[in-house]
Amino acid sequence: MMQQRLRAAGLVLFWLAVAGALSAGKVALQTIPREFAEDLDGKPVDPIASSRGALTVLVFIRTDCPISNRYAPEIQRLSQEFRKQAKFWLIYPERAESPLRIREHGEEFHYTMPALRDVHHSLVTRAEATITPEAAVFERSGKLIYHGRIDNWYEELGRSRAKPTTHELEDAIRKTVAGETISAAHANAVGCYISDLK
């Protein structure tokens, strides 16, 4: 019922009104916690619980962040290379971003992984994400084992290397799959601040 209304309306204002109603508990679905991220049809999704056995990788991006956009081919490459070991999700923390715009953005940048709108920033909180682009790797138990930059391509805002020389996300996935401990559980990312969206 709710999903249908959302899909039909597709309007940000309307959606925010529903979100407000949700958090007020008026139309809350009983079995699903109210602060879950939603897929592009408005259906609440817990990507970590639903990844069933595989590692979960959340990649936080924005449609208007030039740095996360420049990372699109690399994010897509990693999601393909590790498709057997890890389930990748694109997480859009911008509440005002419509599902329509997110679909367009995914097509523009040739993303093939599922996208979620983190309207309550519940995933932002769980992944301790502060920047787009930023990745978070969760074990099947739900434990956060790595969060931070994808690699060191950007040294700081406005300054990037020709090529990255360290690959933190890739290393975190590889080592976890191999049963090794990863060297650092966090590395600062460079990009657009998620807190600018609050």
Partner 1 sequence: MRSTATEKMCAGIVAMAILVIVSEFPVVGEWRPRRFPDAARVTFSRDIAPIVFRSCAPCHHSGEAGPFPLVTYGDLKSHARQIADITSKRRMPPWLPSSDGLAMEEDSHLSEEQIAKFQKWVTDGTPEGDAAELPPAPKFASGWQLGQPDVILQASSAFTIPASGTDVYWNFIFREPTQSSRFVKAIEIRPGDKRLVHHANLLVDRAESARREEKTPGSGFAGMELQIESESFDPDGHFLFWKPGSAPVVEPPGLALRLDPGNDLVLNTHLQPSGKPESIQPTMGIYFTHEPATKFPVLLQLENDRALDIPAGEANFMVSDQFTLPVEVQLLAIYPHAHYLCQEMAAIARFPDGGEKILIHIPRWDLNWQAVFRLAQPERLPSGTTIVMRYRYDNSARNSSNPNTPPQRVKAGNRAVDEMAHLWLQVLPETPTAGERDPRMVLQEALARHHIENNPGDFAAHYNLAAMLLARGATQEAVEQYQAALELRAGDATAENALGGALLAVQRLGEAVAHLSIAAKARPDYFDAHYNLGIALATSENFSAAAQEFATAVKLRPNDANAEANLGSAFAAMGEIPKAMKHLNRALELDPENRLAKENLQTLRGAAGKP
Regarding 188 and contact with partner 1 (CB under 8 A), the answer is no
Instruction: Identify the residue among 54, 144, 185, 197 touching partner 1 (CB under 8 A).
Output: 197
Regarding 115 and contact with partner 1 (CB under 8 A), the answer is no
Site for partner 1 in 45-64 (CB under 8 A): 64
Residues in the interface with partner 1 (CB under 8 A) total 28
State the nearest-atom distance from the C-beta of 89 to partner 1, in Å.
18
Residue 92: strand pairing partners:
117
Instruction: Identify the residue among 6, 15, 45, 74 touching partner 1 (CB under 8 A).
Output: 74
Instruction: For tokens 């996208």, name the residue.
Output: 115
Rounded distance between C-alpha atoms, residue 154 and residue 12, angstroms: 33
State the nearest-atom distance from the C-beta of 52 to partner 1, in Å.
30
**Cβ–Cβ < 8 Å for 160, 92:** no
162 phi/psi in degrees, rounded to 5 = -60, -40
Regarding 13 and contact with partner 1 (CB under 8 A), the answer is no
Regarding 102 and contact with partner 1 (CB under 8 A), the answer is no
3-state per-residue secondary structure call for the chain:
CHHHHHHHHCCHHHHHHHHHHHHCCCCCCCCCCCCCEECCCCCEECHHHHCCCCEEEEEECCCCCHHHHHCHHHHHHHHHHCCCCEEEEEEECCCCCCHHHHHHHHHHCCCCCCEEECCCCHHHHHHCCCEECEEEEECCCCCEEEEECCCCCEEECCEECCCCCCCHHHHHHHHHHCCCCCCCCEECCCCEEHHHHC
Regarding 70 and contact with partner 1 (CB under 8 A), the answer is yes
Residue 42 or residue 191: which is nearer to partner 1 going by CB? 191
Instruction: Identify the residue among 26, 52, 84, 159 touching partner 1 (CB under 8 A).
Output: 159
Regarding 163 and contact with partner 1 (CB under 8 A), the answer is yes
Regarding 25 and contact with partner 1 (CB under 8 A), the answer is no
Give the binding range for partner 1 (CB under 8 A) out of 10-18, 40-48, 105-113, 175-183.
105-113
Regarding 192 and contact with partner 1 (CB under 8 A), the answer is yes
Judged by the rule CB under 8 A, the positions of this chain that interact with partner 1 are 64-66, 69-74, 94, 108-110, 155-163, 165, 192-193, 195-197
